[in-house]
Amino acid sequence: MFKFFVLVFACFLFVIKMEAQYRLQNHFDVGKTKSSNGFYLSNSSYFDYTLKNTTFKIGARVDLIEQTSFNRFFSGLDILVNQKFPLKKMELNLSVEYFMNLYSQWITENNGAILGILKTKHFEWLAGLHFRNIHFNKIENELNFNNRNIYELWNLVYGIKYNLKPIDSKWNIGIGITNKDYFVINQASNPMIYLDGKYKIKSQLTLFAEMWLLKAGVMNISANYYGLFLRAGVLWNIK
């Protein structure tokens, strides 16, 4: 299925000849969780194609350092279509997203989401619905088990972020809480807390950095520390 989306996206870029904007994003994640068996390092790259108020985005993730015994080098694919609606003193974005995680030769996770993001002068609000399919690639042969799919339907996606300065400022610092990140949508009971910052070197080039704190069982009586990771990257507006 994801090959079909990639093919359609590539054909669209070649067919359309109108004025458009292009953007590249690349970032590294380094961190450690209770299930990572030590530190990990991954790299994600995204390409954005924007025509008027519609953006088509495709991204891929590779694991450069992964110390578990079932890691894969190419570990994720992300495809998103976003429609922007400029409003008075705010901006509304509606998105449809599909992303895939290749955890190992045994398990593939497919995710779909419908998202809405409202941006005001200092705040960003996220709300949406998420659908997940966990596919066990080899479980029939190894364990004689016929049910190869687990479905998680109607998972709530949410987030709120406060920016110290107006969103389009040359530099900014923000803090937020959400259950969504690149290639990750947690269950509603497990939000993540993050702190980020950006600095626009020039009109086409922006540097950014983030720190994410992961907790387990946040909505329970007691929450347990699960992990922490740092992210650093660059945004390049080509055109």
pLDDT of residue 140: 53
pLDDT at 147 (0 to 100) = 64
Identify the three-state secondary structure at position 221: coil
CATH for the stretch 2-237: 2.40.160.40
Q: How confident is the model at residue 69 (pLDDT cuts 50, 70, 90)?
A: low
pLDDT given for residue 141 in this prediction: 53
Per domain, the residue ranges of the chain are 2-237
Asked if the model's pLDDT at residue 116 lies above 90, the reply is yes
pTM of the shown model: 0.85
- Residue 18 has what pLDDT? 55
| Chain mean pLDDT for the chain | 87
What are the residue ranges of helices labelled H in the chain? 2-15, 139-143
> Using a CB cutoff of 8 Å and minimum separation of 24, what contacts does 16-21 make?
16/51, 18/51, 19/51, 20/49, 20/50, 20/51, 20/239, 21/48, 21/49, 21/50, 21/51, 21/237, 21/238, 21/239
Residue 40, pLDDT score: 92
- CA 138/CA 6 separation, integer angstroms: 25
